[in-house]
């Protein structure tokens, strides 16, 4: 089989490469000349463990190509996937579908014969139907179908998430006679390797598939926000949030994942998708109030984290040196989009602190979005050198092995704000540190 993947960004590159790994011929269309040049030279413009090797192997095998010729890619393709960006639109938070519609129009212009257009990007409910209108208006003669096939890839884990998904969602236009069967047959064949691995493939309607994506991400974001609020309550009543999370997670109806307290959720998806879902709800006259609250609580939480660090310093960080471990929105990525560090370091910088920072992968991507005065260090101990306060913002594994004794040899002060609960409160306190973390007895405030 052969497919075209429109968009060589995070979703298109991972999905296209994994389809090629399944044995499908994949032509990725990337119109950004710099990104196209990088891909053609085998330079992967995103940090995704294992992706560079997988791309190289499939290019070598002749199953994966990169180009900017839409006609060549679309011609004879069994399916044309649209994986271009859908950023948050300024103002109402609705997803901006202009890039999707532009790509679809281009596909329609060059398509010959039956064409199956599949949205892989996260798109507002109703986009698939809008795409059908655009294609019909552009090419009244064209025989085509539209399908929705949202992705559930986690950054840093994307290849595994594609190869071993909990489920594949395929939405087709069930109102169109015959449209569903053709589209489903093609996509069933494309996903056959997963089917053989007994990974469930759910066939449903277009709008349903589009809403499933938003509902999944928003539920996960809400689950995180729930444990973050429980974490704050634990601090007031002297409970341990790790034990609460573990214990409720043992209930199969709740599940143990995504119950780790944090400075708040960031990334390119949760913030964007929660805002988009609230806009979809408002526009449809059915507001999703739980997610509106999730968005508001998460934004307040990031600000509250900066205030906690300032409170740890006695209310004033002016002139103090603050070491920061971790800048990216989560480990195993260089992605800084909506990372908690952007909010927290801005607060600390404005309060007059001197910031020393280290992140294993995000140093270059962090520089443009963090305050000018930040000093970028060569490793974690360098960031701790001379620090009055040390703050953990991203739970990179390499930080977990840092011992209190080692920190004491570098730090000037003895204050630590562990905002990812990576260290043990007892060992830090025994070493003489004034240690705060999230939702654990060390944070007990006497009433």
The residues carrying an active-site annotation are: 269
Please answer whether residues 132 and 309 qualify as being in contact, where contact means their C-beta atoms are separated by less than 8 angstroms: no
| 410: enclosing H helix or E strand | helix 404-410
Name the one range near ligand UDX by CB under 6 A: 84-92, 246-254, 264-272, 315-323: 264-272
- Does residue 270 touch ligand UDX according to CB under 6 A? yes
- Does residue 214 touch ligand UDX according to CB under 6 A? no
Name the one range near ligand UDX by CB under 6 A: 35-43, 192-200, 267-275, 278-286: 267-275
Residue of 39, 51, 194, 259 interacting with ligand UDX (CB under 6 A): 259
CA 368/CA 301 separation, integer angstroms: 23
Tell me whether residue 70 or residue 269 sits nearer to ligand UDX (CB atom): 269
Q: What share of the chain is helix, strand, coil (3-state, %, to 5)?
A: 45, 15, 40
Name the one range near ligand UDX by CB under 6 A: 170-178, 254-262, 292-300, 352-360: 254-262
Helices 10-21 & 51-60 angle (0-180, nearest 10): 50
Please answer whether residues 53 and 17 qualify as being in contact, where contact means their C-beta atoms are separated by less than 8 angstroms: no
The 219-248 site mask, x for binding ligand UDX (CB under 6 A), equals: -x---x------------------------
- Does residue 124 touch ligand UDX according to CB under 6 A? no
- Does residue 269 touch ligand UDX according to CB under 6 A? yes
| CA angle at 425 for the pair 393 and 354, rounded to the nearest 5° | 40
CA 328/CA 114 separation, integer angstroms: 43
- Does residue 153 touch ligand UDX according to CB under 6 A? yes
The answer on whether 9 is annotated among ligand-binding residues is no
Name the one range near ligand UDX by CB under 6 A: 23-31, 172-180, 192-200, 255-263: 255-263
- Does residue 392 touch ligand UDX according to CB under 6 A? no
- Give the strand pairing for 201-205 and 321-325: unpaired
CA 154/CA 53 separation, integer angstroms: 18
Of 110, 104, 98, give the one whose Cα is nearest residue 70.
Answer: 110
CA 207/CA 127 separation, integer angstroms: 8
Binding site for ligand UDX (CB under 6 A): 151-155, 217, 220, 224, 258-260, 262, 265-267, 269-270, 329-330
Residues forming the annotated binding site?
35, 86, 122, 152-155, 213, 258-262, 266, 272, 330, 337
Residues forming the annotated binding site for NAD(+)?
35, 86, 122, 155, 272, 337
């Amino acid at each position: 089989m052969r497919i075209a993947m429109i968009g060589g960004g995070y979703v298109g590159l991972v999905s296209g490469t994994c389809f090629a790994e399944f044995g499908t011929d994949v032509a990725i269309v990337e119109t950004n000349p710099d990104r196209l040049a990088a891909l053609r030279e085998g330079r992967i413009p995103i940090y995704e463990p294992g992706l560079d090797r997988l791309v190289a192997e499939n290019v070598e095998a002749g199953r994966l190509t990169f180009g900017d010729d839409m006609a060549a890619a679309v011609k004879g393709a069994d399916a044309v996937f649209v994986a271009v960006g859908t950023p948050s639109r300024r103002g109402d938070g609705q997803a901006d579908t202009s890039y999707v519609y532009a790509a679809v129009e281009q596909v329609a212009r060059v398509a010959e014969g039956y064409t199956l257009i599949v949205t892989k990007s996260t798109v507002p409910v109703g986009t698939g139907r809008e795409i059908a209108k655009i294609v019909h208006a552009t090419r009244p003669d064209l025989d085509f179908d539209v399908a929705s096939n949202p992705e559930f890839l986690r950054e840093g884990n994307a290849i595994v998430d594609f190869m071993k998904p909990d489920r594949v969602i395929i939405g087709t236009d069930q109102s169109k006679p015959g449209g569903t069967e053709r589209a489903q047959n093609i996509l069933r064949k494309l996903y056959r390797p997963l089917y053989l691995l007994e990974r469930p493939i759910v066939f449903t309607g277009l709008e349903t598939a589009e809403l499933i994506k938003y509902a999944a991400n928003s539920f996960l974001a809400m689950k995180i926000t729930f444990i973050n609020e429980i974490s704050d309550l634990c601090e007031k009543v002297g409970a341990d949030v790790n034990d609460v999370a573990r214990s409720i997670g043992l209930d199969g109806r709740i599940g143990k994942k995504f119950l780790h307290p944090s400075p708040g959720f960031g990334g390119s998806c949760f913030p964007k998708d929660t805002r988009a879902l609230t806009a979809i709800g408002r526009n449809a006259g059915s507001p999703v109030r739980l997610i509106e609250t999730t968005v508001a609580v998460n934004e307040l939480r990031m600000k509250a984290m900066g205030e906690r660090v300032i409170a740890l310093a006695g209310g004033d960080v002016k002139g103090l040196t603050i070491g920061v471990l971790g800048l990216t929105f989560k480990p195993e990525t260089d992605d800084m989009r909506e990372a908690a560090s952007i909010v927290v370091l801005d607060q600390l910088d404005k309060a007059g602190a001197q910031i020393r920072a280290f992140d294993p992968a995000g140093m270059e991507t962090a520089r443009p979005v963090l305050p000018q005065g930040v000093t970028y260090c060569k490793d974690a101990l360098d960031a701790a050198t001379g620090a009055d306060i040390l703050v953990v913002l991203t739970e990179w594994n390499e930080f977990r092995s840092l011992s209190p004794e080692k920190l004491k040899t570098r730090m000037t002060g003895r204050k630590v704000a562990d905002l990812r609960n990576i260290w043990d409160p007892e060992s830090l306190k025994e070493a003489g540190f004034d240690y705060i973390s999230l939702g654990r007895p060390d944070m007990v405030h006497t009433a």
